[in-house]
Amino acid sequence: MEIEKITRSGYSSNLSKEQLWDIYKSMKTQRQLEERLLKLYKGGQLSGAVYPGIGQEASMAGIAAGMSEKDIFGGTHRDLGVQIKKGVTLKEIALNFFGKHDGPSKGRDGNSHFGVVDKGTLMVVSPLPDSAPVAVGWALASKLDNSGIVAVANCGEGATATGTWHESINMAGVSNLPIVFTVQNNQFAYSSPNETEFGTPNVADRGLGYGIPSKIIDGNDIYEVMNTIHEACEHARNGNGPTLVELVTFRHYGHAGHDPAEYVTKEVRDFWMKRDPISRFEHSLMDESLFTQEDFTKLTEELENEIKETLEWAKTQNDPKPENEILDIFAKRNTEVKQSDSSETKTMNLIEAITNGLDELLENDKDVFMMGEDIGEFEGAFKATKGLFAKYGPDRILDTAISEGAFTGAAVGAALAGKKPIIELQFYDFVYPALDQITTEAAKYYWKAGKSVPMVVRGPTGAGTRSGPFHSISPESMLAHHPGIKIVAPSNPYDAKGLLIAATYDPNPVMYLEHKKLYRKPDLKMDVPLGLYEVEIGKGAVVKEGTDFTIVTWSGMVSVAQEAAHALEADNISVEIIDLRTIVPLDEEIILKSVEKTSNLCILQEDVPFSSVASEVSSLVAEKGFWNLDNPILKITPPNTHIPFAPILEDAFIPNADKVVSAIKGLQ
């Protein structure tokens, strides 16, 4: 079979014999490793899955070869070639495929779902292309710091149909970020051919719509790949923004080890086998008299032995210990807690306290910046960023397009790069498009990759403003279901500022919930200290002491509990009110101690009842404080329905003091 030739030009012409050999070796290592892994998988000796990139080696090695050593790569499960070329070792790969403790993901994710951030590769996850927004965030951090780092976000052509890819490339184009988007078009998204994936003839045709240059190249020509990627990276490094590169290639096998790829016709396969990237590279190197067939044969034998020995070694290494899993949900903080001497205060409502906290954070820490929709000159839907754009400018107060997935994922990447991003959601109802990045990337990075993600996602929650079912959510129960994120919900201006500052300096992703009905509540003004101070995350507060009944609540329901407690005093019922302040981690001690004291518990929440925080608190007390209870646990919640718009319906939906009083008196 005649192999189509390739020749060196441009950037690749300047590579030394040693550099070319290193690139060739990485391609051969990938191919022989994946062939061996595929055999192990089909032989039942390997769990999980194998996603072979055999046939795409030039695309992967060429991408890595075109990048500089300090550049960052966000890829997919078929990018072992980039990982190898970026310095990830055979031992690291083997350990991960066998789910061992010392592998990059510590056995917490399998096979090729890993990255080694310290070597320049982002964590690989199953939903594709989820690493694209993260790469955008790293590029944003690079632009803010002028570090010269370029991010490369890679995926297959099938993933370009997702909103995640669109939002990412659109955000990068609008912000002129130093990033390159590469798409390995291997003809099939699993089994779907190109004509069923997109309406344009080529993926690269979309570049015009994003206002960025695009190119279509032969992904099986190692020289063209590295030349193009190098040019695109330098274009980005010099402040000229993103490039979209479509690498047309072909996978020799199916989507995964279990896929026989019967949908590929013989004609298509024959066409691409003549363009096998390794064979083309070998012929070119021999044509230049740089290496001989004997050199290639010798390397093949050496790699075969090394790969076999490494895989056999990996099998014998230590498995992860189940008892250690809970230890790595949250990164531990090792920075000094901010403490104000409280010598100077100012009377503020809740929204003013938040704005003041944001202002002081931005002023005192150059790594803090904000992203969100309309937070710049418009100063946010609720004016939480009032005056900040004028003071700090568009680099620190970044107005974004309507793209919650992109800018939330970008916060993950920026946090990994050393920044402290604060995201504003116009309404917390809009968190749903961002949940993929929050739960798939932010929540799992420390647990899976050992890298902390200090970021805050803040915004208005709650009902009572006649905003209807799409602007009134209380999302704490939904968010609390996902390990790896913290959730705070202040009920007063002092806590609002202190928790915001604590959230910003926490090394984990924190969801910061602001009840919009409290923003400008006339009777909720307080003297708030000027200067940075913190309210400890994970610690509740006794708002009112009592002896007969405990009410556990938070956020907008604290004032309802206070009103009910005042009314119950007329009947000589003494109520103790616990403001949780933090939903995750939950202050179990303050709840159990209060129930031990009062022997009665009422949980008051604005969120719907099913699978809620109230359910969790009930379970906690039933399990650890049951014998202290004199009566059944009360849960005062809305009905299990959506939040209605009509005033008469919304007022009936939200728990009020009368409902609390009636329920508690009913147990007396």
Q: Which residues are catalytic?
A: 471
Closest-CA residue to 546 (of 619, 625, 600, 606): 600
Handedness of CA 355, 360, 363, 364 (dihedral sign): negative
CA distance readout (Å), 519 to 429, 488, 490, 493 = 17, 16, 11, 9
Query: What number of H helices and E strands is found in the chain?
Result: 22, 21
Burial class of residue 50 (count of CB atoms within 10 Å of its CB; 0-12, 13-18, 19+): buried
What is the three-class DSSP state of 231?
Answer: helix
The amino acid at residue 610 is: F
Which of the 8 DSSP states describes residue 255?
S
Closest-CA residue to 421 (of 457, 480, 369, 378): 369
Q: First-to-last CA distance in the chain?
A: 91
DSSP 552-575: EE-GGGHHHHHHHHHHHHTTT--E
Neighbours of 324 (CB within 10 A): 11
Closest-CA residue to 169 (of 443, 419, 409): 409
Does residue 206 contact residue 173 with C-beta atoms inside 8 Å?
no
Structural Rg of the chain based on CA atoms: 28
Does residue 61 contact residue 222 with C-beta atoms inside 8 Å?
yes
Which of the 8 DSSP states describes residue 213?
-
> Which secondary-structure segment (H or E) carries 241?
none
> Which secondary-structure segment (H or E) carries 247?
strand 243-248
Rounded CA-CA distance 606/571 in Å is 26
Rounded CA-CA distance 361/365 in Å is 6
Rounded CA-CA distance 29/63 in Å is 16
User: 636 phi and psi, to 5 degrees?
Assistant: -105, 110
Does residue 147 contact residue 210 with C-beta atoms inside 8 Å?
no
Q: Which residues of 388-415 are buried (b: 16+ CB within 10 A; e: fewer)?
A: bbeebeeebbbbbeebbbbbbbbbbbbb
The amino acid at residue 619 is: S
Neighbours of 282 (CB within 10 A): 20
Rounded CA-CA distance 126/121 in Å is 15
Tokens of 215: 């190119």
